[in-house]
């Protein structure tokens, strides 16, 4: 079940090639690779939320993670499935809403979010965060959030670190918070926050 407020995402993946989409780099995100290769995040039951064309998803599966991936775009899921088959890895792909996740409580040890939260509409943010909390295991589930920084300029979805603390601190403990720049697929430098957080044992759902 998809959310009508986000229906344009399938049009984006249908009308443009992957090379035309700035966030589709064709290689896994360095911040994710560094955490995995440094064993800060070890193979476990993982959700890649808003997986897009599946580059990060496939990387995680190749590193031994048991990966489920969800996206609201049917075309993105098609691309990701093709990429997984070429790589010879098994991944469960789910076409569904990132606001209302179709998974049971405490199913995952790790959620990877590359650019999903900053596209969640303001009125859906609380529900989205609640969903992240629900699908992660109590007291130990990890959530890696990568989202736009306010250094990109003022916008409804550019966040300060204080904004992120306000949104997530009731349910998560911040383990690390980094700020970095990335030259995206269109050649433009954009700034991001990367937050590794852990679900609280007594998180407020």
Q: Report pLDDT for 205.
A: 61
User: pLDDT tens for residues 143-155?
Assistant: 999 999 999 999 9
Is the C-alpha dihedral spanning 43, 30, 155, 150 positive or negative? positive
Q: Does any domain span residue 204?
A: no
Q: Does any domain span residue 128?
A: yes
Q: Does any domain span residue 43?
A: yes
| 92-95 β-sheet, strand order | 92-95, 66-71, 45-49, 110-114, 142-148, 189-199, 172-183
Q: Does any domain span residue 84?
A: yes
Q: Does any domain span residue 69?
A: yes
Taking residue 143's Cβ as centre, other Cβ atoms within 10 Å add up to 26
Task: Indicate which CATH number applies to the domain containing 97.
Answer: 3.40.50.150
pLDDT mean over 155-181? 96
Quick one: what percent of the chain has pLDDT higher than 90?
A: 92
Confidence of residue 166 (pLDDT cuts 50, 70, 90): very high
Q: Does any domain span residue 24?
A: yes
For 88-105, give one letter per residue: b (16+ CB within 10 A) or e.
Answer: ebebebebbbbbebeeee
Q: Does any domain span residue 90?
A: yes
Question: Closest Cα to residue 91, out of 126, 63, 129?
Answer: 63
Task: Please provide the average confidence, as pLDDT, over all residues in the chain.
Answer: 94
Is the C-alpha dihedral spanning 162, 31, 199, 125 positive or negative? positive
**Domain of 163, in residue numbers:** 4-199
Confidence of residue 21 (pLDDT cuts 50, 70, 90): very high
Q: Report pLDDT for 44.
A: 98
- How far CA 178 is from CA of 137, 169, 204, in Å, comes to 24, 16, 25
Q: Does any domain span residue 123?
A: yes
Overall domain count for the chain: 1
User: pLDDT tens for residues 102-127?
Assistant: 999 999 999 999 999 999 999 999 99
Confidence of residue 1 (pLDDT cuts 50, 70, 90): very low
- How far CA 144 is from CA of 9, 61, 88, in Å, comes to 22, 16, 25
- Asked if pLDDT for residue 6 goes beyond 90, the answer is no
Q: What is the pTM of this model?
A: 0.94
């Amino acid at each position: 079940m998809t959310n009508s407020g986000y229906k344009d995402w399938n049009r984006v993946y249908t009308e443009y090639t992957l090379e035309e989409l700035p966030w589709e780099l064709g290689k896994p995100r360095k911040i994710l690779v560094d955490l995995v290769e440094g064993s800060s995040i070890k193979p476990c039951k993982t959700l890649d939320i808003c997986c897009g064309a599946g580059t990060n998803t496939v990387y995680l599966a190749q590193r031994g993670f048991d990966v489920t991936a969800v996206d609201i775009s049917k075309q993105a899921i098609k691309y990701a499935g093709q990429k997984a088959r070429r790589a010879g890895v098994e991944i469960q792909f789910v076409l569904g809403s990132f606001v209302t996740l179709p998974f049971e409580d405490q199913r995952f040890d790790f959620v990877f979010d590359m650019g999903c939260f900053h596209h969640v509409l303001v009125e859906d943010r609380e529900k989205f965060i609640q969903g992240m909390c629900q699908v992660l295991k109590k007291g130990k589930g990890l959530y890696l959030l990568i989202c736009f920084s306010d250094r990109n300029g003022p916008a409804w979805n550019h966040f300060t670190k204080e904004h992120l603390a306000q949104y997530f601190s009731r349910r998560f403990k911040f383990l690390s918070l980094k700020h970095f720049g990335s030259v995206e697929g269109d050649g433009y430098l954009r700034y991001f926050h990367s937050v590794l957080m852990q679900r609280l044992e007594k998180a407020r759902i």
